[in-house]
Amino acid sequence: STLLGSAALVCWAGAASAQDGEEEAHNARLVGLHDLQARSAYHGVIQEQDGRWIAYIGHHDGTAFNPLSGMVETNGNSIVDVTNARRPFLLRHLPADGGSQMVQVCSGDDLPAGEPGKYYLLRTNGNLGHQIYDVTDPSDPVFIVDVTTGLDGTHKNWWECDTGIAYLVADLQPEGWTTDRGLKVFDLSDPENPVFIRNFGMVGSEPGATEPPVRDPGVHEPTRLGDRVYLAYGTSGEGALQIIDREALLTGDPDPTPENLLAPVIAQLNMPDYWGGHTAWAMHDVELPEYELFEEGTPRDFVILTSESTSNSCQEPHHHMTFMVDITDEAHPFPVANFQVPESEGDFCDRGGRFGTHSQNWSYTDVFYKKLVFFSYFNAGVRAVDVRDPYHPKEVAFFIPATTENTDERCAEFDGVEQCFIAIQTNNVEVDERGLIYLFDRANTGLHIVELTGKARQLLDEPAEGDDDAEDGEMVADLP
C-alpha cells in the first residue's frame, strides 16, 4: 500500500505500526542488544579472538558522546565483546574522519606474512582512504598504516585472510578515471607493508575512455569465493554483475586499457535500469536432489545478487529484491528465481523508512552455508531464507527489532507535505560460527543479536517435521 495524507496517523490490523515500534518475530528470538551509543550502524564482522568473540562494527558519518572517553567523537568503529551474547559490552569506539562504514578483520596466523598471535583490522577512514589497525587487544587498537589516502570516496572492501589480497572500493577520479567507485587491488599479506597491484573498473570508466560504460554507476561491492571474484555494480539502479577470473585479475597487465579490463571478465550480466547490484555473493557446488538423476544436473553454482532500496516510504519505481543467478555455465549467468517480502504482509510502505533489500550475510560459516542466507530488509528487519534449493528460495524466519528512544526518524514527502516516522532500519546482517545472527541498525537503534528457533532452527541439522511456530529448545550457541 501507499501512504497518502492523513494515513500516517492510522494503525492497521494484524501488524505493529511504526508508532508502536513493537518487536515482531517468527522462528527467531532476541538474545542480546547494545545501543552502540546511538550511532548509525552499517557493516559488522564477528571475529573469534583468543577464546573471545568480538564484533567490529562500522558506522556512518555523525557524532555521539562516548562515556568511555568522556568526549563527543566522530563516528568510526564500535568494538563490542559479544562472548556472552546476552550481555554484549563496548570495549572501544575508534573515531574516524567522517564515519567508517566498512570493516574486515584477519588473524596474523592466517595471513601469509602476518605476525602470529596478532589480529588486524582493515577499515575505511571516511571517504579519505583505507587503514589498518592492530586490534590484538581490541580494547586498545594501534594504528599501523594508511593503505591508501587522498581519496574523495570509499565504501566496501574484501580482505582474503588466506592470501592477504584486498579489494578496496575507492575513488579513482584523481587518477583520471570517471568513476568515484572503482577497485584498488592490494597485497596486504604483510599488513605493515601494503603492496599496490592495480586499479580496476568497467570498460568506459578508464582514463581516456571514448565511450561511457554500459552501466554508469561504479562497483559497489567485491566478494571472493575460490578462484573467482564477484563484483556488484550500481547499488540501486543500472546494476551489473561481473564474474572475474581472480588469477587473471591479479597477474594481468595492470595498464587500464579496454583490452586489459576485459581480460579477467568471464561474464557480465546487466540488470534493468531500475535494479542495481549492491551485493553479489556466491554458493558453489550446490547439490540438488531433484536433479541428481540427470546426466549433468547437479551440483550447480549460484550467485545471490541483491538490489538496494534507497528511498523512504516506497517512493521508488520498483520493489528492490534479491535474485538467484545460476552461474553453472559461467559465461552465461542467468536469473532463475527471486526472493522478496510481500509489502502487504506488514503494510511496510506505511511504516516509514526504507522497505526492501539491502544486503545479506557475508560469512561462509559452515553453520549456515548453502542452507540459510540472511537478508537485511530495512523496516522489515532480517529475513532468514532457505536456499538449499536456490530455484525455490523460501523464507523460514524473520525478526524485526523494536524501536527505542534512540531510533531516528525517517521522512518522505507526500503531496508536497513532509511526513516523518520512527521505523527500524536493519541495514546489514552477519553471522558467526556459533549460529548467532547480528543485525546492525541504520536508524541509531544499535546492535541486535538473534537466534533461530522452531523449524528454522531444525534446518541447521536436517529438515524435520514439527510445529513451525515452536519456541522451545536451547540456543545454538552454548552461552553462559
SS3 163: coil
Residue 101 is predicted with a pLDDT of: 96
Average pLDDT, the chain: 92
pLDDT for 208-229, tens place per residue? 999 889 887 799 999 999 999 9
- What is the C-alpha to C-alpha distance for residues 116 and 391, in angstroms, rounded to an integer? 43
Q: Is the pLDDT at 8 greater than 70, yes or no?
A: no
> Which residue type is seen at 319?
H
C-alpha pair distances (Å), 204 with each of 185, 217, 261, 345, 390: 19, 11, 10, 42, 33
Q: Is the pLDDT at 475 greater than 70, yes or no?
A: no
- What is the C-alpha to C-alpha distance for residues 57 and 76, in angstroms, rounded to an integer? 8
CA dihedral (184, 186, 191, 193) positive or negative: negative
Retrieve residue 419's grid coordinates: 511526513
C-alpha pair distances (Å), 375 with each of 358, 362, 406: 7, 10, 23
Q: Nearest CA to 342 among 312, 371, 314?
A: 314
pLDDT for 318-361, tens place per residue? 899 999 999 999 999 999 999 999 999 999 999 999 999 999 99
Retrieve residue 414's grid coordinates: 507526500
Q: Taking the C-alpha atoms of 460, 466, 471 and 475 in order, what is their torsion angle to the nearest 10 degrees?
A: -30
Average pLDDT over residues 90-115: 98
Residue 346 is predicted with a pLDDT of: 95
Residue 476 is predicted with a pLDDT of: 52
